[in-house]
Amino acid sequence: MRLAKRVQNLKESPTLAVTAKAKTMKAKGWDIISFGAGEPDCDTPDNIKEEAIRSIEEGFTKYTKVGGIDELKDAIIEKFRRDNGLRYSMDEILVSCGGKHSFFNLCQALVEEGDEVIIPAPYWVSYPAIVRIAGGTPVIVPTNEDGGFRMTPEMFESHITPATKAVIINSPSNPTGAVYSVDELEAIAEVAVRMGVLVVSDEIYEKLCYDGTSHVSIASLSREMKGMSIVLNGVSKAYSMTGWRIGYAAGPKRLIKAMTDIQSQSTSNPTSISQKAAAEAIRGPQDSVLKMREGFKRRRKVVVDGLNSIDGVSCMEPAGAFYVFPNIAGFLSKRYNGTAVNNSVDFANFLLDEAEIAVVPGVAFGAEGHIRISYAVSMEDVEEGIKRMREAVDRLE
């Protein structure tokens, strides 16, 4: 059997691969602490679960409109107005089976052979993969710690070519936690509008901003910018609903219509029950979100201070999300038990074998010399994991 060209270079998402390896080791009796997960550690709030149970009992278990039920779209429209100062109509919203699916639909509707999509690195692993599946070419713009892992307008502009279709802004960012300031977004918006480049704004972590920074949607900066933006969001991270698979997109009618048509010929509607639950999440009480954010904020401090206290590790304190992206370049070219540690994958394997902690190698996000640590784990695990890491790197020679 000869598989299609589009899957020949496709790999399993490396974040899922590390989590899977850690799970296997755990099942075999290893005492693994996993910093690999890309999801909150708390349960979905009760009011949301109860809404789902009610909708099952009431028989809300059939096909719905392909692009999402009106009730959920209304809640999303109201959320954009309330949280982001953005006004959308029903036909400018599409509900999909997760934020990842929203991005997939977008690329299928927008990108074809020869098209370029600008992606600042470190990036969410799915962006380049999904652009490639659509036949497009990811154009990676490297950023570094000195610049706070944020792309400047100059870096953006210098990567634009006649083939550029879109640029991706993910603020707060997975994997770095970086948050763009309003001034930085204004400057990027200016370039996008002047050069006619669509901005894909992935705002899935908007509820997780710390230190008084608040999330601003680039689409809200001006009327022109709104017309040049597609905003991606969802309930996975803010409401700890990763398994429910609800994400959404908001943008120009013509694009949303094309994305909806793709969805109608692939998955059809997202799960009816999940849509009801998501509506409750978005318009119900928001206190669980604040509580979760406070918990993350406490752990962020412990993880950042802990990492910076390890000789050879340096870690920027990020303003959002639940990840840190420490620099571990100082350990590369060292050895343990005769094995060389040459790159971030070797280092992640070293931590798994020698410290029984699971992290994701930076190279998965397009940034060698780093690892991603998710602090969506208990405070005890954060403290124990840092301690193990300190002891393990001491043994590198």
User: Which residues are near ligand PLP by CB under 6 A?
Assistant: 38, 98-100, 124, 170, 174, 202, 204, 234, 236-237, 242, 247
Q: What are phi and psi of 168, to 5 degrees?
A: -105, 130
- 238 versus 386: smaller Cβ distance to ligand PLP: 238
Taking a C-beta distance cutoff of 8 angstroms, is the pair 276, 52 a contact? Answer: yes
DSSP β-ladder status, 198-202 and 164-170: parallel
Taking a C-beta distance cutoff of 8 angstroms, is the pair 207, 222 a contact? Answer: no
Q: What are phi and psi of 100, to 5 degrees?
A: -60, -40
Q: How far is the CB of 172 from ligand PLP (least distance, A)?
A: 9
Q: How far is the CB of 332 from ligand PLP (least distance, A)?
A: 26
Bridge partner list, 137 = 116
Taking a C-beta distance cutoff of 8 angstroms, is the pair 244, 278 a contact? Answer: yes
- 220 versus 242: smaller Cβ distance to ligand PLP: 242
Start-to-end CA span in the chain (Å):
47
For 175-333, where are the E strands, in sequence order?
198-202, 229-234, 247-250, 323-324
| DSSP letter assigned to residue 318 | -
Q: How far is the CB of 204 from ligand PLP (least distance, A)?
A: 4
CA distance 200 to 98: 16
What angle is formed at CA 338 by the lines to CA 332 and CA 341, rounded to 5 degrees?
Answer: 15
- 33 versus 238: smaller Cβ distance to ligand PLP: 238
The torsion region of residue 135 among left (phi > 0), alpha (psi -120 to 50) and beta comes to: left
Q: How far is the CB of 264 from ligand PLP (least distance, A)?
A: 19
Q: How far is the CB of 245 from ligand PLP (least distance, A)?
A: 7
- 179 versus 204: smaller Cβ distance to ligand PLP: 204
- 36 versus 234: smaller Cβ distance to ligand PLP: 234
Q: How far is the CB of 340 from ligand PLP (least distance, A)?
A: 32
- 16 versus 187: smaller Cβ distance to ligand PLP: 16
Which amino acid would we find at residue 50? E
- 234 versus 320: smaller Cβ distance to ligand PLP: 234
Q: How far is the CB of 98 from ligand PLP (least distance, A)?
A: 3
- 341 versus 376: smaller Cβ distance to ligand PLP: 376
- 38 versus 306: smaller Cβ distance to ligand PLP: 38
CA distance 397 to 336: 7
What three-state secondary structure class fits 155?
A: helix
User: Which residues, in sequence order, are CB contacts of 302 under 8 Å at separation 6+?
Assistant: 379, 382, 383, 386
User: Which residues, in sequence order, are CB contacts of 139 under 8 Å at separation 6+?
Assistant: 116, 117, 118, 119, 159, 161, 164
Q: How far is the CB of 278 from ligand PLP (least distance, A)?
A: 10
Q: How far is the CB of 388 from ligand PLP (least distance, A)?
A: 26
